[in-house]
Amino acid sequence: MVKIDQVFRTKRKSIALIIQRDGRLIVRAPLHTSDKSIRSFVEKNTAWIKAKQAQVKTAYPQVAPKKYIDGEKFWYLGRQYPLQIVDRLNPPVKFFDRFFIDRSAVCKAQWHLTQWYKKQARRVISERVKIFAAKNGFAYRQVKITSAQTRWGSCSSKGSLCFSWRLIMAPLPVIDYVVIHELVHLKEKNHGKSFWEKVNTLMPDYKQKIAWLKKNGPLLQI
């Protein structure tokens, strides 16, 4: 039996199967689709799912887990910076052309770094949303920073914009693309022709940004 890792029910008309770069199976289905119908659809497409999972495993090797040691590189705004372990640092994580972490905090380095990244994401992304919204006449409700693993951003029906904190590791122009993408969703709810025309008007080279995320997205981990 094929494992279904996550199911998202939204206002869509058909079931979609999405294989993530780590091989996980994501199912997107119409709002009132039953679990039984989803399972039946998945079973009918077992051969395709397994072939796709094998393909992505070869195409996108898994990223080695971080060790949090001196000299290890971490992404921030499109560049990789080394980590340096030091004594008597407060707060336990700081950034000055490299990442510094207090020796006593190394045992919880992932948590401390995540909190630092979330803070930067909230500051930078909120400001980019504000700039592009004001410049192009978009009205949004609020900006939220999430821990989403499968989506860089999303736009709710009520106008709330959500962004994964991992996005702060990408270059600023790539962040701007995701911001524009979600702002356009305030007016265009699906990815139809009109949606992409609006994105292209605001960012003519948006395909380059998508390509960067496809290539480097799996690396944006801590």
Is 116 a residue whose pLDDT tops 80? yes
For the chain, the average pLDDT equals 93
Overall average pLDDT of the 146-175 stretch: 92
Is 172 a residue whose pLDDT tops 90? yes
Taking the complete model, does pTM exceed 0.85, yes or no? no
Instruction: Identify the pLDDT of residue 165.
Output: 97
With b for 16 or more beta-carbon neighbours within 10 A and e for fewer, the 88-99 pattern comes to ebeebbeeeeeb
Please state, for a pLDDT cut of 70, what percent of the chain lies above it. 98
C-alpha to C-alpha distance for 186 and 191, rounded to whole angstroms: 12
* CB contact at 8 A, 133 and 139: yes
Segment of 47-56, 71-80, 148-157, 184-193 carrying the highest mean pLDDT: 71-80
Instruction: Identify the pLDDT of residue 61.
Output: 61
The closest of 202, 146, 139, 141 to 173, measured between CA atoms, is 202
Is 29 a residue whose pLDDT tops 70? yes
Q: pLDDT-derived band of residue 58, with 50, 70 and 90 as boundaries?
A: confident
C-alpha to C-alpha distance for 81 and 98, rounded to whole angstroms: 5
Overall average pLDDT of the 92-109 stretch: 96
Is 57 a residue whose pLDDT tops 90? no
Delimiting residues of CATH 3.30.2010.10 domain(s) in the chain? 120-219
Q: What is the DSSP pairing of strand 93-95 with strand 16-19? A: unpaired
**pLDDT tens sequence across 82-96:** 999 999 999 999 999
CATH number of 120-219: 3.30.2010.10
Lowest mean pLDDT, pick from 57-61, 78-82, 156-160: 57-61
C-alpha to C-alpha distance for 50 and 37, rounded to whole angstroms: 19
Lowest mean pLDDT, pick from 23-27, 58-62, 161-165: 58-62
Q: pLDDT-derived band of residue 24, with 50, 70 and 90 as boundaries?
A: confident
